[in-house]
Structure 1
């Protein structure tokens, strides 16, 4: 039977459609970090990067799905709370996101969040969720760009020439979580060839409007040894934003 507006069934449909799943892809090797183990399992002041990342989402009313290499599923389950679901990922990030999506249950709102952003404040997650609930199909957090940016033409391996200066007021450095309605994320990944590093880019490619909300400097990504040192210094200072 079709639910009519205002009926109990309609209210139930609204509740189900607004359920949230946070997918945390953590199956990458993190070779640029220079560690001997996958990045998500690197120690960060007595806890793994993955554990600290999951900590940031536990207060959300959300189903959390962590995607790790197949041989580390058991280890991840021992590290994380029992209600956090752990599944095996694939060779590409997109494969891992789709594995997480398959485990997302009935959630109508899907957030994809880098495990390598372990200090992202909960407020960033909430801004993305609120914007999706307000009716947007794809929402990403971003922060203003501080540096002057130049577009270049590469002349050879050691030399480039500036072609134009880019208006940085119109640019944002994009972070995660990136949020989508379920149908938008499924559609975005439908014809992906496994090379995407950004889910919002897939959505843009098929014409889904992507909206930007305020990010946070604490949502920085750990990619290089320098990034790891900075995160450790932040933890040493006790200035972590929750």
Structure 2
């Protein structure tokens, strides 16, 4: 499932972030292709903006996608949580494993998708791909005014920290229960599963699964895509 109902204000005005071009192709299409490249994925559900489902369906029709995978576009809600819930409701009853992937992570390698799906199938209720942090992290008291000095409260042990990516994988029943019982606005899907008291495990992420949020991220994504095309004909 790919929730793609947000506007992505940090990339500036214009089209929603998921529809911004990357190498001449919308990021959403790259994200769909990345998920469909995994043989563990038989259906990709795209959750469109509430009034944008026809536009997204047209977009999918315009681009070549792997034919062995089915695709479904459903209208989303006003929040990401509501959009994910609507996406879950649209899944066929026989789907037992759900992967939730950010459209803004268009370059996630297929090996990462495979690893997440395999870990759920091996019995983990929730799985997140993640990377160790390169930088030291400080916990601070946020300043009342942006730009003011902020007092350091603590320095977490970096070896115990991970930067979380997507796709995140879930046993369907666990994900449905999390959205029904502990949904908190702004909380991620894995965070809601943690609130249920169910275990969440981490598998290795990949440096190319970064989130395209700011203009500099788009420059980096273009460079990664150009390298892939030069090396692999991607």
Q: Give TM-score, length-normalised by structure 1.
A: 0.85
Cα distance in 1 between the residues matched to 2:209 and 2:81: 21
Alignment partner, residue 66 of structure 1: 46
Give distance in 2, aligned partners of 1:231 and 1:92. Answer: 26
Please provide the CA RMSD for this pair: 1.8
Question: What 5-or-longer segments of structure 2 have no aligned partner?
Answer: none
**What do residues 63-102 of structure 1 show as CA deviations (whole Å, max 9, x unaligned)?**
1100011332112112225831000001000011011101
Q: Max radius of gyration: which structure?
A: 1
With over 3 angstroms needed to count, the CA separation of the structure-2 counterparts of 1:197 and 1:117, relative to structure 1, is farther
Per-residue displacement from partner, 1:27-78 (whole Å, max 9, x unpaired)? 0011111031111111111110000111112233421100011332112112
Which consecutive residues of structure 1, in runs of 5 or more, have no partner in the other structure? 1-22
Once residues 91 and 59 of structure 2 are traced to their aligned partners in structure 1, the CA distance between those partners, rounded to angstroms, is 20
Q: Is the 8 A contact 2:208 2:224 kept in 1?
A: no
Instruction: Give 3-state SS (helix, strand or coil) of 2:203's partner.
Output: strand
Whole-Å separation in 2 of the counterparts to 1:235 and 1:211: 29
- Structure-2 residue corresponding to 1:134: 122
TM-score by length of structure 2 reads: 0.88
Question: What is the aligned partner in structure 2 of residue 147 from structure 1?
Answer: 135
The answer to whether 1:75 aligns with 2:75 is no
> Matches of 1:120 and 1:237 in 2, distance apart?
14
Q: 1:51: which partner in 2?
A: 29
- What pairs up with 1:77-116 in 2 under 5 angstroms? 77-80=57-60, 81=65, 83-105=70-92, 106-116=94-104
* Paired residues, number: 220
- SS of corresponding position for 1:70: coil
Q: Is the 8 A contact 2:184 2:192 kept in 1?
A: no
